[in-house]
Amino acid sequence: MVIAGIAGFYYLADSATVVRLAAVLAGLAAAAVTMWYTAPGQQFVVFSQDALKEARKVVWPTRKETIQTTGIVFAFVVVMAIFLWVVDAGLLWAVQLLMGRSDT
C-alpha cells in the first residue's frame, strides 16, 4: 500500500503537489490501518516492540575498546597484505623459473 501511494505520487506528476502528497499519505494511512487490524500486522508490531527492548539491552563498546579493536583489525590487514604479496612474488618467481624466463 505504501508502494501504491508512492506510485500514485509519480503517476500524478501533472497534478498539484498537495494532491501528490495526499496520495503518499493515503498509502501510508492504508498500510497503517491494515497493519493495525490484521494478525500479521499485530505480529509485526509485537516483533518490533521486542526488537526495541532487546536493542536497549545491548552493551556498546567504549571508545578505548573500539580504538583497540580497530587497531587490531588494521594490523591484521597489513600482515595479511604483506603475506599475500610474498606468496604472489614467490609464485611469480616459481612460474618464471619453470618457464625458463628467469632473469638470473
* Alpha-carbon span 30 to 28, nearest angstrom: 5
* Contacting residues for 103 by C-beta, under 8 A, at least 6 apart: 96
pLDDT digits 0-9 by tens, 71-83: 999 999 999 999 9
Looking at the structure, do residues 49 and 69 belong to the same domain, yes or no?
Answer: no
Looking at the structure, do residues 64 and 54 belong to the same domain, yes or no?
Answer: no
Q: Which structural domain, as residue segments, surrounds residue 7?
A: 1-58
Mean pLDDT of the chain: 92
Looking at the structure, do residues 65 and 54 belong to the same domain, yes or no?
Answer: no
Looking at the structure, do residues 40 and 91 belong to the same domain, yes or no?
Answer: no
Looking at the structure, do residues 40 and 71 belong to the same domain, yes or no?
Answer: no
Task: Give residue 45's pLDDT.
Answer: 86
How many structural domains comprise the chain?
2
Phi-psi region of 37 (alpha: psi -120 to 50; beta: other; left: phi over 0): alpha
* Contacting residues for 3 by C-beta, under 8 A, at least 6 apart: 27
